Structure 1
Amino acid sequence: DHRTLQAAVDYIASLGGGVVEIGPGEFLMRDSLHLRPQVKVRGQGEKTVLRKAKAASSRLELDGDFGEEQITVKDPTGFEVGDGVAIWDKNAGGFHTTVARITGRSGNTFSISLPLNADCMVEAGAQAATIFPVISGYHLDGVRVENLTIEGNQRENGHMDGCRGGGIFLYRCPGAVIERCVVRDYNGDGISFQQSNDVEVRSCISERNASLGFHPGSGSQRPTVRDCLARNNGEDGLFLCWRVKHGLFENNTLEGNGRFGISIGHKDTDNLLRGNKVIRNGEDGIFFRNETLGMAGHRNRLENNLIENNGQKIPAAGIRVRGETQDLLFKGNVIRDTRPKGEQRQVVGIKLEEKVGTVVTDANQIDATTVIEDERKAN
């Protein structure tokens, strides 16, 4: 199980780094595989499966106070020493969620390995659940994950926010590499990395996860996501979260996701999205979120992308730009709907809403009922 894998990773880390090879088999994960600095973890593709165990969950019996290192739950059934655990309330989600390990027990009170990130109050619905990233890394250099399959077991696990969770989750892990991994059926995001510069995600598949396929965010500078597939995820295929800058997103396929193929927004600037296939997503193919001038996704370039047959749920645009976004370049993109005339839902090629600034279009091939819908007053 996860303890065997963790022991191997910790041992190699104690030697100064190296490679942990995981052979064929299915490993039941009751806690994250916690990455360590300068350690590469390598599996054998679909033959090496890390499967999330069934989760236990309970409301808290007592308030969990900021900095406290224990929790008291109403129903301790299924909570065991050594399990990973998340604690939150309706006011303490996102980055304020605490993810730790259960280290001891007395009745229905459990000690945990980390102090609570925030007050988790009974009156605010405070709860705990044995949910966590299947692979997790915090504050690490030199980590690499290759050729692993993550099975998230969504049916038996509650949802986990992508600010602290995912099938694979990294926080402040500069230069990390994730290559040839498959993440499927996780109740949250497939692959999420936060505040992590120069991360490379290559040739990975993120499919049938409840939320986002790929989630670079929170000031992750210079990310590269290349040759990846995000398919049939509940929300967006690729979601650029806050302050993603100077990234390269190239030759990816974003297909059949529940909301947008690609979403760009809060201070996400100076990125290049090139050679991607954005097809059959639920709403708009590529979506620039509604942000004010200082916070919008400026100076992004979309080049040589195929944006096709989006709007599976509602009539949509191939590219939709909202807010006060400006200085965009759309060049050499093919934007079309190839479905029969009566079934076409990607009815607008490019939609520019009223507050959008400068957008340069060059050599795009657009086949839509409305080629460009420009709502700006001076267009």
Structure 2
Amino acid sequence: MALGAAGVGVLAALVALGLEWRYRKRPAHPLEIIPAVWNLEIYEPQHYRFVGQLGLSNPHRGLEVMVPNLTAEVVLLADSAVDTIQTEVYVTPRHPEPEFAPRADGYWFAYIVKSTKQTSVELRVDLRGVNVADVQAAWVKVHYVAYGPHGRFAKTHHEFIPLKFPAKGESGVWRPAEGCQVLPIRTHLLTPLDVPLEVVNRYVLPHAQAGDIVAIGETPIAIIQGRLKDPAQLTPGWVATRVCQFFLPTSSLATACGMQALVEEVGELRVLLAFLGGAIAKLFGYRGGFYQLAGEQARLIDDVTGTLPPYDQFIVMGPANPQVVVDDLAAKTGLGVAIVDVNDLGAVKVLAASAGVSPQLLTAALRKNPAGNADEQTPIVLIRPN
């Protein structure tokens, strides 16, 4: 029986919907980056060499991803000019198949990461120069192309390698505060390579005694957890581009990318409902409704410029599971531990604190922000009650 015009139209619409559903269900590309494990092979006054093994993984069943290009560049953060430092970056594929052995000329040949498979890439960086010892950290940018059914995607992965470390026990001086003494603790530039317990053991324990409280900034913990978003890798959607316009320019949610970071954390529907609910609440004189409805992350996001280099180029989310972090640190160090959000305006927000730690004492001790809001690189404050 022949279909009428209406039937053909309905059938065409169903086919189109089916195609669209399948398109949206499949990821743009399933390629995942496994962060590198770095080894500092040469650490001499005029020569540093560090080598990392980066993973490329395709966990999807059914899709293959081509990587037609992969390169790397390095940005140095130092206490002096870096133009005299010779920087060399080597990218060497370490594919599991013998037939894809590295080429002698260093050319990256297009490679297919097959379904549920992975491969790896060796990154080697050499720094040479009379002032290499001034380099605090290296920021390695890995640029690659993911090529598949949805198109060609230019992506960038970021690695941060600390290269300058304060001596154990090196720190500032104890300062008086309300009901206590406080000691800002200087560390190396913290990165996702770090582990909170190791940082506390290295820099805090030489100064600590029983009864002390370790107050750690929420941003450093989030950085260690890798909760960074590169704005260049975000594609603000309809909700983000519309809702961000209603926030004050000083808010981290006043940009499309800042708002998109929240959308990707909690979902478009929650952000939209929080916006509508907050707007209604404001009509009745109640402020802050959006943040309550959107969740804790809405208050904790730091947009670009919100922290010290190189993280000033990124959107930094709030830490994940802060209570779990402080409880683990307290159990393993025997000290009180808290994760806090402090600014130069005297605002102190306690995100999480271990058992027995007084929020009132934390607020009094940190009200003057002894850790600072610039590039002091003192993400931890040791508090000693009087």
TM-score (normalizing by structure 1): 0.27
More strand by share: 1
Structure exhibiting the larger radius of gyration computed from Cα positions = 2
TM-score, scaled relative to structure 2: 0.27
Give the structure with the larger helix fraction. 2
